[in-house]
Amino acid sequence: MVKIKHVLKFIIPKNIREFLLHLKNLLIETYDKCLIPASVKHIYGPEKIEYGENEVIVICTVLNGSVYIKSFIEHYLSLGVKHIVLLDNNSEDDTVSIARDYKNVTILSSKIPASYRCYRVLLLREYLIRRFCRHRWCLVADIDELFDYPFSDSIPITQLLEYLNRNSYTAVLSQMLDMFSNKPLSELKNTKEGPLKELYQYYDISDIKKVSYHSKIFGRLPGKNILADQSIMFHIGGIRKAIFGTDNWLTKHQLIFVEKVRLVHPHWAVDVVCADFSAACYHYKFAGNFYETALRYSNARFGYAVSEYEAIVSKCRGDPSLGLKRATAEKIYSTEDLIKNGFLFVSKNYLEWARRCSERVARSNGSAS
């Protein structure tokens, strides 16, 4: 039997079909957007967070993040963020119970499933941003992402934010760095023993492709965004391209000042002025029992990343001893190493400011002791 949609394809002009599809998606998103506020329940921590212009909070939607949650919270609190807001999305593990052991953490929950729907993830993030981050800095992170900025070991994040405010920047571009261990993927197990940084110390940038931030391949996504230094490039591919053949976007607007800024994609915000340096986003996708996670998403047969997970599952099945550590892999030590090997970029202006700021902080610490 001929399906109706195949018949309509010949009857209805392409431009009309595209308009109707856009209208359908718009109605679905509007419906979900109205449902989300009512779906969100408070579980733990303060429901309102007051913070200053030179402070930042982290927002994160999470599903079954027990492997990551301890490292995630401890990393960002040690980085100096004011608060962490977690929105749990139907976790079946002990993510929430672990997070409740920490101060400066707020936990919310929503039963609206978002793990397979890109626009729902964005809607949940936008809800958190509107509720907690108006006219303030916000760091948008997935549970497997640890943000870090150049010279963070000597420059407090409050000083970094002051630098961004003084220069009227409203976003920092993060370059995602896939981290992995020296073990085959099939041997990885879900464990909460030890920080992620110690368990997954390797990276490989040999297959990263760099393109212009305003490249035509991104369509309208860059919009009127301003890049303070054109030397900052957009990264694509990396180790996932080399091993699994997937062209993943590795650059994202992660640290943003919430005023006119809007999220339009998991990696893109619009109406931003990007700073004159790039930051690192250590990405622990290949942590825990990674293969089972990939298999679950692949079997779901829908969602914006299903093709990537299908490619991963196919490759792992064909080679049970498959690992990511090749001869080109390097061990992570600091963001300075990532600047030296060209993965991160810092302008002369940022370098000079960082030098002066580090000296000032050192003098202040010396006098305090």
CATH code: domain of residue 134:
3.90.550.10
* pLDDT tens column, 4-26: 555 556 666 767 666 655 555 55
Q: Domain check: are 123 and 173 in the same one? A: no
Q: Domain check: are 326 and 240 in the same one? A: yes
Q: Which is nearest to 360 in space by CA: 63, 106, 162, 137? A: 162
Where is the domain boundary, 143, 169, 187? 143
Q: Domain check: are 118 and 207 in the same one? A: no
157 neighbors 80 (Cβ within 8 angstroms) = yes
Q: Domain check: are 188 and 58 in the same one? A: no
Q: Domain check: are 333 and 246 in the same one? A: yes
Q: Domain check: are 278 and 129 in the same one? A: no
Q: Domain check: are 150 and 227 in the same one? A: yes
Res. 31: pLDDT tops 50: no
Angle between helices 118-132 and 14-39 (to 10 degrees): 50
191 belongs to a structural domain: yes
* pLDDT the model gives residue 1: 41
Res. 347: pLDDT tops 90: yes
* Section 208-220 average pLDDT: 95
24 belongs to a structural domain: no
Q: Domain check: are 263 and 291 in the same one? A: yes
User: pLDDT grade, residue 119 (50/70/90)?
Assistant: low
The three-class DSSP label of residue 203 is: strand
Q: How far is CA 241 from the centre of its chain?
A: 18
* Structural domain boundaries enclosing 358: 144-369
299 neighbors 288 (Cβ within 8 angstroms) = no
Measure the CA–CA gap between 343 and 181, rounded to whole angstroms.
Answer: 20
> Which are the contacts of 80, defined by CB distance < 8 A and separation ≥ 6?
156, 157, 158
Where is the domain boundary, 101, 117, 143? 143
Percent of the chain clearing pLDDT 90 (strictly above) = 63
* pLDDT the model gives residue 2: 46
Q: Mean pLDDT in the chain?
A: 88
Which of the residue ranges 24-38, 254-268, 340-354 would you say has the lowest mean pLDDT? 24-38
Q: Domain check: are 265 and 341 in the same one? A: yes
Domain count, the chain: 2
Q: Domain check: are 75 and 101 in the same one? A: yes
* pLDDT the model gives residue 98: 96
Q: Domain check: are 126 and 249 in the same one? A: no
Supply the DSSP string of 37-104, one letter for each residue. Answer: HHH-EEEES-SS----TT-EEEEEEESS-TTTHHHHHHHHHHHT-SEEEEEE-S--SSHHHHHTTSSS
CA dihedral 122, 125, 130, 135 (to 10 degrees): -100
